[in-house]
Structure 1
Amino acid sequence: MIRVLVVDDQVLIRAGLAALIRAAPGLDVIGEAADGAEAIELAARLTPEVVLMDIRMPGINGVDATARILAETKPPPRVLVLTTFDLDEYIYAALRAGASGFLLKETPPDRLLAAIRTVAGGDTLLGPSVTRRLIEAYVPTPHPEQPTPDLAPLTARETEILRLVGTGRSNAAIAETLVVSEATVKTHLVRLMSKLHLSSRAQAVVTAYETGLVIPGRADAP
């Protein structure tokens, strides 16, 4: 069973999401939180595999709650953010903090359930075109003259893979581009994410933009 924590400050939405998830095979709601503070406490105590996180809440919002949950919960869960607007600076901040993806609140139930299973399996849930528009709308404009010390630990091959991840390519597409095996790409990706202390592929995409490996408006898309 995939253990899910549902976080939303609106009781009817939270109850509806919890009922939907409980009725689905292979999924179990182990807790419900009405705000970010309660989400942090429940995540630490119940150790869910997936947190379904409302982004805009009073008090501790979904961005800050995501960052704290990923830093303080062991093992860290996957965070799937729910939002009303796809181009939202809160979503950008959540992806930057390590969320595995986001969904609109109007998403059909079957897609929501599939998304929970996807992130629980370790994959990132990202619509490449929407995610690129989101990141390009809010990423700070890089300055080429400034060094990017955060990338210093990476090898040349790891840096190139990070750039290709930033353009939205899958591991299979990266392997084809670099003429290597998909397993090799996965190995390099795991290593570079460890070196840069990244917890999700979405976070790697944001990093590729923020360090200037991918320039907004000039992404080398597949």
Structure 2
Amino acid sequence: MSDGDDIPKKQLEVSGAGTGGRKRTAIGADDGGAGKGPKEFPGSPENPSFDFIPRVVICEPHVLIRAGMKRMIPFCQVIGEASDGNEALALIRALQPELVITEIHVDGIYGDELCTLIRESCPKTSILISTHSYHATKFFHQVMRSGASGVYLKSSGRSELVKAVTDVLNGQNYCDESIARLVNQHPSPVISMPEPLTEREIEVLIRLDLRNRDIAEELGIQLNKVEKCISSILKKLGTETRTAAALKAVGLGFTLLPLMSSRNSVTGLTEEEELALAHADAALRDVH
């Protein structure tokens, strides 16, 4: 992980009902019980129970996916919905929810900037990123540095969303396993190299399909550091171009981060988008 990537686990706190505070809606408790924090009560994995009703704002461009998400988390109260970053930020500042579920790729205010603005104005609001593989891996470090508590893939469906929301509401960080495997890679132990790649060089190597400036922004390092890393990578791998280095990296057991997916010529959607819509439709039909 890059410098500053060790994100501290955020503890959810209950503020008073006074000016600027948020009061949680307790379940089966008087006002004194509402301040005990995010204790989870026994419940099914699909429908966990808390000692309060978590209030949620969803920022998602696609109306069907928004509706499906609401159905997937019945243990939460969705108090606001938005289709772009500006609308979402206004709602979040006004409503001060416990949790925001937001797509990275939204109009108005983009990904990590939206996370930063939420964190500045609503420090007790947790943020769960809901997106697809390309944006999840391309912007993973940026959104986590900016205050997100986790990254969820919309294409993974109801059970994984419930787990992500539950983890985040309990003050834990969450990351889809497939994304975690991609952004935290190590060379295969069965393959030896005369001069091993450093952790930073591996982070740059698996992102060679991105522009140098994009790599620098994602990893939070200077552009000249990226350029030095690439020169070192080419030397260590014995290649002359970044394309050759990327190909050799695959042979060494690395997985390059996913490119933007192609779109169906008929629907105009990527495979992940179609799967996310299918999950949303199933949730609305109450099909498990």
- In the superposition, the TM-score normalised over structure 2's length comes to 0.44
Preserved CA contact (<8 Å) 2:142 2:220: no
1:5 pairs, out of 57, 61, 66, with: 57
- The CA deviation at 1:141 is 6.2
Runs (5+) with no aligned partner, structure 1: 144-216, 218-222
Q: Look at both structures and tell me which one has the larger radius of gyration over its CA atoms.
A: 2
Preserved CA contact (<8 Å) 1:5 1:52: yes
Name 1:85's counterpart in structure 2: 133
Go from structure 1 to structure 2 and tell me whether the alpha carbon gap of 1:14 and 1:121 turns closer, same or farther (over 3 Å shift).
same
Name 1:71's counterpart in structure 2: 120
Where do 4+ consecutive residues of structure 1 move more than 3 Å? 140-143
Q: How many residues align?
A: 139
Name 1:14's counterpart in structure 2: 66
Name 2:103's counterpart in structure 1: 54
Name 1:38's counterpart in structure 2: 87
- The CA deviation at 1:129 is 2.5
Name 2:152's counterpart in structure 1: 103
- The CA deviation at 1:90 is 2.6
Deviation sequence 1:31-63 (CA, Å, 0-9, x none): 111111111111111111111110101221232
Deviation sequence 1:91-114 (CA, Å, 0-9, x none): 332112111110111112011012
Tell me the SS of whatever aligns to 1:88: helix
Where in structure 2 are the equivalents of 1:125-136 lying within 5 Å? 125-126=174-175, 127=177, 128-133=180-185, 136=203
Tell me the SS of whatever aligns to 1:130: helix
| Alpha-carbon distance between aligned partners in 1 of 2:115 and 2:220, rounded to the nearest angstrom | 21
Deviation sequence 1:171-208 (CA, Å, 0-9, x none): xxxxxxxxxxxxxxxxxxxxxxxxxxxxxxxxxxxxxx
| Alpha-carbon distance between aligned partners in 2 of 1:44 and 1:141, rounded to the nearest angstrom | 31
Name 2:78's counterpart in structure 1: 29
Tell me the SS of whatever aligns to 2:142: helix
| Alpha-carbon distance between aligned partners in 1 of 2:220 and 2:109, rounded to the nearest angstrom | 24
Task: Write 1 or 2 for the structure with the bigger share of helix.
Answer: 1
Go from structure 1 to structure 2 and tell me whether the alpha carbon gap of 1:141 and 1:67 turns closer, same or farther (over 3 Å shift).
closer
Tell me the SS of whatever aligns to 1:80: strand
Tell me the SS of whatever aligns to 2:173: coil
Where in structure 2 are the equivalents of 1:161-180 lying within 5 Å? none
| Alpha-carbon distance between aligned partners in 2 of 1:10 and 1:39, rounded to the nearest angstrom | 14
- In the superposition, the TM-score normalised over structure 1's length comes to 0.56
- The CA deviation at 1:140 is 5.3
Computed over aligned residues only, the root mean square deviation of the Cα atoms, in angstroms, reads 2.3
Identity across matched positions, percent:
31
